[in-house]
Structure 1
């Protein structure tokens, strides 16, 4: 279909970093990178350097056919293009240290398999409104934090810490080591959301509407909770569900103030 690749929603030309050395310099300068695209079978010392830097910064890498890169630019891309991010990604442990160092009680959100950027934006908006300090996302399998996500968040994605990790399982381990309990939403859970103590350091895990939270991740969570519903409809939208639980946490914490 003619013109099929000409428009890429949420990505503008200013986000493209084209060529090997510009990508290396962008990563080393601390510029946020959403992902790096490599042409299949590309090789060279600079490619090895980019791979190493990407591993260190948890930047996703995709192997793509030449046509994919050409759909982004006609310039000499040297077999690789990076897409710059619109938000700055933070280190999870540093965020935990900062929040606790400020005397705050951590309230974080983990997003597992949520790909709709409008949902991500709406979740970020609720998180900021309810006093959450961070959103934790995996480096793969989550919607891009692009212009549409920022617009849906009404700027909230720029006001909350975004921690990108290469493993949500390891992220939960880090939270546990810092005394932060992890609560997962699950439709068949026996405990209601209002039965938890949100005044302690905690993190909410929200899964996508089709599959829920990944079973292995669910298994290592401290509690499973469900949101009561009046009818027999399947479920809440994930951004609405997140807002409900976050509001319950905020209400609990505000009621605990002396």
Structure 2
């Protein structure tokens, strides 16, 4: 299997056809070379430039050519779809049909092989982040990216950070956390945490555990009801979940627990 239109068949087979570990060297075929009247040479193919040549069938394995085992079946031309991530946020991307299931937290996302002529839909799911959009798609509908496969393709999903919902003024007044638990996990004793006012659509939905670990005492104050700059209290912060105090103490103000 090689493509004379490609300058490097080895690169073509690995980059777009899903084969692995091809060397830019010679490979056996199952055909006796047509120019050998004694039938002692087989036709071979150079994966460096796609040319064919004769090679003695009796050559020593140590000085012979490579071979490639293949399964019988209809050949379906395929191309690789590569997913990249961008931005400081985090999230997951899944494909339909299956093949890509990656997180921006992964070190890398393995490219997937899809049949030429097929359509792949990639769906992005932000994780406590915003979605900044797609690039490289044929069409986009919200968090869904449609890719028509006809050649190797690369698309990029961008996840962005969201404005904080909770801050710890001791650490920063502009950067913070999306959950109460993450803010408590980073707190030390005597910290005062500030949370945004919520509505029924923006309540904190989580279980909160107060545990200072080796910190003793561990006394935390949680103030709720702040507007977006965390300077003025304008309402109430609602937590839909359980609060468990394992160590230390918790003082709350403008906090509703349901």
TM-score under structure 1 length normalisation: 0.23
Structure (1 or 2) with the larger CA radius of gyration? 2
More helix per residue: 1 or 2?
Answer: 1
Q: Which has the higher contact order (CA 8 A, sep 6+)?
A: 1
TM-score under structure 2 length normalisation: 0.23
